[in-house]
Structure 1
């Protein structure tokens, strides 16, 4: 789409204006202007299991922006109850409220909000799991729970791969026996590692 076409398309023009504002406040890069697609880097919110991690997210918006629901996918894997663990796509809960409005700003605020949710109980399995994933995929510095590291080592000593072991343990709330059963049952997909995973030795997704 040419710049002139964008001026005549109110939805495209609105997205371009909002994108310009976003680039003033975030580290964001347009990938495909026609698809209203961009990448953004977000820091893990302080006081959460994501603290000190850096997350790369790709967002794409519908043609009738800001109407409809965007597609947002974590390119740095995250453990979050509002993100599909397999596809790493954000689950937008407002889709049942008719035709929702999601501007770029609202979408980023939504993502930040889901990262802050369910973080009250610092010793809960959920929060510890979010912290574990942050260390392994987002270069977080808080350090994973020693007990979780021990269970991961236990599964790896049995010959299971790092990625499958972490996924199985996370889904089973770190019950090693259940994790082994899940892997043996084939319920953990044996996918190739994502090319979008960070280039560190600990990137397992």
Structure 2
């Protein structure tokens, strides 16, 4: 059974720390579905980007690892460029109940700083990283610019309007991002469930 009090405590602890570059929001009203955000590490091609992570907690959490997947497209050897799947040991067999959602997000942030191309999730990206590093850097920077830049003022206004309609902010941001910033398309998706 999901330890709801622990999850609530973790959310408070994570969001209290404004300097870490990670945060977690609820998606809807269930504590088992969350949206994480990590800032791209300074000195990497991901610098300046804000990356959204879908987090689903199994009933066995914290004894089973959370299921995490990048929502924001990212060019990285250990993250699928197609579906956002992540290759990281602590999200699989190296998970421990002593770890938290915050430490998992910080580990993802560290993974952005130190790719492991010899244990890839995306073989195409890993090959580029190993064989043509300058092109890898350029592609990673381009994807960060295209998909992970902080939302603009116009987007903030759209988010505010949709939140005022009664939709949760994390869900609005994810839906708006998936709709390419198209407010009407996002509203349609939000209304259709």
TM > 0.5 fold call: yes
Structure 1: which 5+ runs fail to align? 1-8, 141-193, 201-205
Structure 1 residue 114 corresponds to structure 2 residue 111: yes
- Provide the C-alpha distance between the structure 1 equivalents of 2:137 and 2:87, rounded to a whole number of angstroms: 19
Kept in 2, the 8 Å contact 1:31–1:38? The answer is yes
- Computed over aligned residues only, the root mean square deviation of the Cα atoms, in angstroms, reads 3.1
Q: What is the TM-score when the length of structure 2 is the normalising length?
A: 0.59
Q: What is the TM-score when the length of structure 1 is the normalising length?
A: 0.56
- Provide the C-alpha distance between the structure 2 equivalents of 1:104 and 1:56, rounded to a whole number of angstroms: 14
Structure 1 residue 60 corresponds to structure 2 residue 70: no
Give how far 1:56 is off: 1.8
- Provide the C-alpha distance between the structure 1 equivalents of 2:43 and 2:180, rounded to a whole number of angstroms: 23
Give how far 1:126 is off: 2.5
Give how far 1:10 is off: 7.1
Give how far 1:30 is off: 0.7
Deviates more, 1:21-30 or 1:46-55: 21-30
- Provide the C-alpha distance between the structure 2 equivalents of 1:27 and 1:100, rounded to a whole number of angstroms: 21
Kept in 2, the 8 Å contact 1:61–1:70? The answer is yes
Give how far 1:54 is off: 1.6
Instruction: Work out which of the two has the higher radius of gyration on C-alpha atoms and give 1 or 2.
Output: 1
Rate the CA distance shift 1:118–1:83 in 2: closer, same or farther, 3 A.
closer
Kept in 2, the 8 Å contact 1:12–1:65? The answer is no
Give how far 1:127 is off: 2.4
- Provide runs of 4+ in structure 1 moved above 4 Å: none
- Provide the C-alpha distance between the structure 2 equivalents of 1:74 and 1:19, rounded to a whole number of angstroms: 19
Give how far 1:129 is off: 2.1
Return the match for 2:24 from 7, 21, 28. Answer: 28
Structure 2: which 5+ runs fail to align? 117-129, 151-175, 183-193
User: For residues 146-161 of structure 1, what are the structure 2 equivalents within 5 Å?
Assistant: none
